[in-house]
Each structure stands twice: as C-alpha cells, then as structure tokens.
Amino acid sequence: MTALPDLAAIEAMDAADGLRAMRERFILPEGLVYLDGNSLGVASKAAFTELQAAAAEEWGQDLIRSWNTAGWFDMPLTLGDRVGRLVGAAAGQTAVCDTTSINIYKALHAAMALRPDRTIIVAEAGSFPTDIYMAEGVVSTRPGASLRLEGVDAPEIEDLIDGDVAVVLVNHVNYKSGELRDMAALTQKAHEHGALVIWDLCHTAGALPVDLDGAKADFAVGCTYKYLNGGPGAPAFVYAAARHHGAISQPLSGWWGHARPFAFEKHYAAGEGIRRFLCGTQPILSLRALKGALDIWDEVDMAALREKSLGLTDLFIALVEEKCAAYGLEFESSREREKRGSQVSFRHPHAYEIMQALIARGVIGDFRAPSTMRFGFTPLYLRYADVWRAVEILEEILRTGAWQDARFAVRSAVT
Ligand SMILES: Cc1ncc(COP(=O)(O)O)c(C=O)c1O
C-alpha cells in the first residue's frame, strides 16, 4: 500500500489543482466543510446576480414585458440545451422544467406509448424511492402494466430485461452508495430486447462526464439543485433522443407543450420535439438562478472535473480507512474508480447521530435511512485540505464518543 499524503502534501495538491480558482465563484460560509453538494449545491455569485436582476429589474420594473424581452418564455429550452451539453446531449433534446419526479412520470408514459404491445417497467428496488413511486403511479393508470424490480424479482437488472419489457428506469449513480452504472452497456442490452431506457441522472449531472447521445440513451431525467448548484427546488431536466421526437406523446398535455400556446386553440396539439414535454408556467426566478449557476459550468472541463472528483474520493476513502478503522464504519461505495460517482458512503449503526455531531462541528454531509452517512465531493469548490479536515473531525468524534450526546439523536424532518 502506498503511504498516505500528510497535510503538507495535501496542501501542495491544492496548490497544483487546475480547478482551484473556481472556488472563488461560490459563496461558502467561513469555516464550513461542505460535503453535501450531492443534495443541495452551494450558492454562487453568478446565481445571486441573476436572481437580483430578475427580481429587481425584470419583475420589478419590466413586469409582463419580460416574458419577451428577458427571454423568460424560452428559458426551459435555452437552459435545457446548456444542461444537455453537460450530459452529452446535442441541442434540441433537453428541457428544464418541473421536478425529476414529474419528468419521470412523463418519460415513463412516453416510453410505454412507444412500445404499445409491451406491459413491463423494470426498475431498481434500491433506486431513489420517487422513481419507484412514480413507476407505481404509471402502472396504476395503464391497465395490464406491471413493475419488475431489481433486488426483488432478480438480483441484477440485466436479468429482468426480455421481450415483454417496454422500459427500464435506472439510476446512473445510486443515491445511497454512489455506485455508477455502465450507461452504454445497459442501454445496449435493453435495446437488444427492444426495450427503451430512462436514465435518472440526478447524481450524475455536474458530477461526472456522461454521453447520452453516444450511449444511444432514449430518455433521461435529472435535477439541477445538486451538483449543478441551481438552488433549492430548482427545476429538473428531461431529455428525449431526437430519433423519438416524431412519435412521442406524454399525458401532461398542458399549454406550454402546445404547438401554438398563444393561439389559444380549443384542443391540444403537441409542440415540436422536446417542447412537448413542457406542461405549464415555469418558476422563472428559479430558472434565473440556474442560469447564473450554468454560466460557471460553461467554463468547466468535465474531464478535469472527473479527475479531481476521483482524487477527492480516493483521498477520503484512504484517510477514513486509515484513521477510523477501529470504529465500526462499513464502506458502502465502490473502490473501483469506474464504478464510483462523486460521493462516498459509510454505514454505521449510529450513522444519524455521528452525522449530526459532524454537522455541529462544521462538516456537513447527510444521512440516509437506515444507516448510511453520505459524503458528496464537488470539485468546483472543495479542496483536498477540506477532505483532510473532515476526516480529522470524524476521527475525533468517533474516538471521543462525542456523537453520544443526546441532542444528536433528535431527528429532524429532513435528514
Ligand atoms: C436519484 C434521484 N431521483 C429523483 C430525485 C427527486 O427529485 P425531485 O424531488 O426533483 O422530484 C432525487 C432527489 O434527491 C434523486 O436523488
């Protein structure tokens, strides 16, 4: 085993980091080590500038005129193209709108409508729960449809795909373990059986490079408030491959998806391409914050981002395993770099209390029931020295038993 770097060596890694100037673009509270950008990304100066302009000038002064003069009406598609670029989607295939849950609903219906002679949705028991909940909702509206789950009906998702399957709904990076799937291989497997695939990219967008077009993905969804730093409740995105556009229908046929919304026609006529995934009026202030956040992403080299992400997670894993080996942490992520997203998880019977103790000491990660501590690594604003500091504090909390303080056992609504 190679020797671990000491703090001086770690500071030298920060000094040599090609992304280090990016940190200046964000608003980071003094003294905090923020390892929760996989849940809510931090604010940026650019997002605040956009919000201020949208509120004070466009809403405050220009009012209704801003729908035309400030590009409000087109924002779901203009921002969609910019998010699309970050996930390997050529222009015209991505829209920013609604929530990931709602976009899953639309994409599942669209996929099932493209495979009218098939009845099965394949998903993962270990996926983020909303994916399963939405699939259950879709099944409830389509007589004869049913759900097959990896982890319930077979151990591996690949074994569930056959000629009855209409669509596979799958998380690219698992929300709990951070495990990364091979997008091209699974998409190909589904296509060999005539099935379509919807990729949930919530923990991928802004975390690592991905190539939706190259992998021949059919649909994708994802959120913009995690690694993309769009802000709390920022709208999600939906991607549909151009080759499906002519035939796609989705049931939330609101006026924003209409071919001529301001003709106020009596009946629905689906708009061209990805526009038909829109439903109703979108949250403009949130979209404007996202616009600011995306300005930063225009300058990011995704290969460099991935390399630093892996450097941060490698270092965290090595330091935790060396310094905290005695305290019963169970590694829940992948040691293989090609199977690791940009987060690392450890299980512990008292994960909740330990995480609260960490937060009280200024190291913010989160807890996922029943026993997972998640640590997200965001290369644009994290330093290697932050990783060092987080592990020093974790070790101290475990060694001293500081987490046993009764206040750390009090459960909040959001964990
Ligand atoms: C993988 C995954 N899918 C979906 C969601 C939920 O998205 P939304 O609340 O935008 O519907 C999350 C939220 O954390 C997630 O991690």
Q: Whose CA is nearest to atom 4 of ligand 1?
A: 100
The rounded Å distance from CA 225 to ligand 1 centre is 10
* pLDDT tens-digit map of 318-343: 999 999 999 999 999 999 999 999 99
Query: Does the active-site annotation cover 225?
Result: yes
Q: Which residues line ligand 1 (CB under 6 A)?
A: 99-101, 128, 130-131, 171, 175, 200, 202-203, 223, 236
Where b means 16+ CB within 10 Å and e means fewer, 266-296 reads eeeebbebbbbbbbeebebebbbbbbbbbbb
**Mean pLDDT for the stretch of residues 115-123:** 98
1 has a pLDDT exceeding 60: no
Query: Does the active-site annotation cover 128?
Result: yes
Name the active-site residue from 105, 128, 219, 384. 128
Helices within 298-409 (DSSP H only): 302-323, 351-360, 384-400
Contact 311, 375 (CB under 8 A): no
Q: How many CB atoms lie within 10 A of CB 262?
A: 8
* Global confidence as pTM: 0.97
* pLDDT tens-digit map of 210-240: 999 999 999 999 999 999 999 999 999 999 9
Where b means 16+ CB within 10 Å and e means fewer, 172-208 reads bbbbbbbbbbebeebbebbeeeebbbbbbbbbbbbbb
Confidence of residue 29 (pLDDT cuts 50, 70, 90): very high
- In the chain the domains, ranked by start, together with CATH numbers, are 7-30+301-409 (3.90.1150.10), 49-297 (3.40.640.10)
Please measure the distance between the N-terminal and C-terminal CA atoms of the chain and give it in whole angstroms: 36
Query: Does the active-site annotation cover 266?
Result: no
Query: Does the active-site annotation cover 17?
Result: no
- Return mean pLDDT, the chain: 97
* pLDDT tens-digit map of 159-196: 999 999 999 999 999 999 999 999 999 999 999 999 99
Please tell me the predicted confidence (pLDDT) of residue 2: 66
Name the active-site residue from 148, 275, 374, 389. 374
Please tell me the predicted confidence (pLDDT) of residue 3: 78
Question: To test the ligand 1 pocket, which listed residue (102, 131, 175, 282) has its Cβ within 8 A of the most ligand atoms?
Answer: 175
Query: Does the active-site annotation cover 211?
Result: no
Q: Which residue has the tokens 């699974």?
A: 186
100 has a pLDDT exceeding 90: yes
Ligand 1: nearest atom to the Cα of 171: 1
Question: To test the ligand 1 pocket, which listed residue (103, 130, 210, 286) has its Cβ within 8 A of the most ligand atoms?
Answer: 130
Ligand 1: nearest atom to the Cα of 236: 10
**Mean pLDDT for the stretch of residues 124-128:** 97
